[in-house]
Structure formats: structure tokens, C-alpha cells
Amino acid sequence: MLFEDNDFDVNMAIFIPDVNFNSRNVNILSPMEGFLRGNMFYDEYEPYKKLTYFKLVPKDEQEKLLFQVMALSFAINDLNLYLDLHPQDKEVMDLFNRYVGEEKELCQAYVKKYGPLEVKETIGNQFTWINSPWPWDNKGGSMYV
């Protein structure tokens, strides 16, 4: 699995080493760093007036897993945009496919442990979406979603 407990330090915004494609000057950040910056590409991030991004601190294991899912989902979408313009880039395509597989695994783990992330995700033959806590409930959702 891509995300081991000891690899995820949300305070340092690192849980996957940065990927450096020096041969083509494409520097791709880790999913969490890209998620926090709002861009997966090192050279594309320009902070506004020397301000930095907010570092996420999960309240519990559920929120930690949710942040990992969110970061991978962001990475997949941002790499998709890159691949729209560079469809022959095999290295980035391989990374994209790796993240897709890891995101799928993490989503399945989240759904199994905490309930559905999307209305289409059910457990067994029951519609469980309505049973999950809502964002405004004491334990529901996250202030970051």
C-alpha cells in the first residue's frame, strides 16, 4: 500500500516522496503537498504575497484517511489535466495509474470502516448513505470538505 502510517505526516504535508522527472523538467509533488498547494507541479506554485498554504491536522484516524483520499483525488485530477496536454508522457501516465489504484483502495477502506463517501457507495444490500453523520452533526464530515 502506498500510504503507511509512518509515512503520513500531515503536519509536514508529506506522505509520498516528490517525483522528479528531471529529464523533461517536470517536477511533480507528492499528492498531499500538491493538494495543499493546489497544484501538483513544483514550478507552477507561486504564493500570493509570500503567504503559505494551510497545513491540515486530522482530528482522528477517520479524518486522516479522508485527507489521504482527498489528496489522491486531487492528484489524479491535476495529472489528468497535464495528460490532456501531454498524452504521450508515459512516466506521468504510470504515476496517474498508480494513484488511481491507490485512491480506489483507500476509498474502499474508508467505506468499509466509516461508511459511504458518495451516494453510489453502499455496504451490502442496504442503502446506508442516509445513516452516515452529516457535516453539521458533531462527528459528521470535515471542515475541509
Question: Which tens digits make up the pLDDT trace of 46-79?
Answer: 778 878 778 888 889 998 999 999 999 999 999 9
Q: Per-residue pLDDT for 8 more than 80? A: no
Q: Per-residue pLDDT for 22 more than 60? A: no
Q: Between these two residues, 105 and 15, which has the higher pLDDT value?
A: 105
Residues 82, 87, 88, 91, CA torsion sign: positive
- Percentage of the residues of the chain whose pLDDT score is greater than 90: 41
Measure the CA angle with vertex 137, ends 132 and 141; round to 5°.
Answer: 60
Q: Between these two residues, 106 and 51, which has the higher pLDDT value?
A: 106
The residue-averaged pLDDT of 86-102 equals 95
State the average pLDDT for the chain.
77
Q: Which of 6-20, 86-100, 115-129 has the lowest mean pLDDT?
A: 6-20
Q: Around Cβ 139, how many Cβ atoms within 10 Å?
A: 10
Closest to 5 in 3D by CA, of 85, 109, 129, 125:
109
Q: Is the pTM of this model over 0.85?
A: no
Alpha-carbon span 44 to 25, nearest angstrom: 12
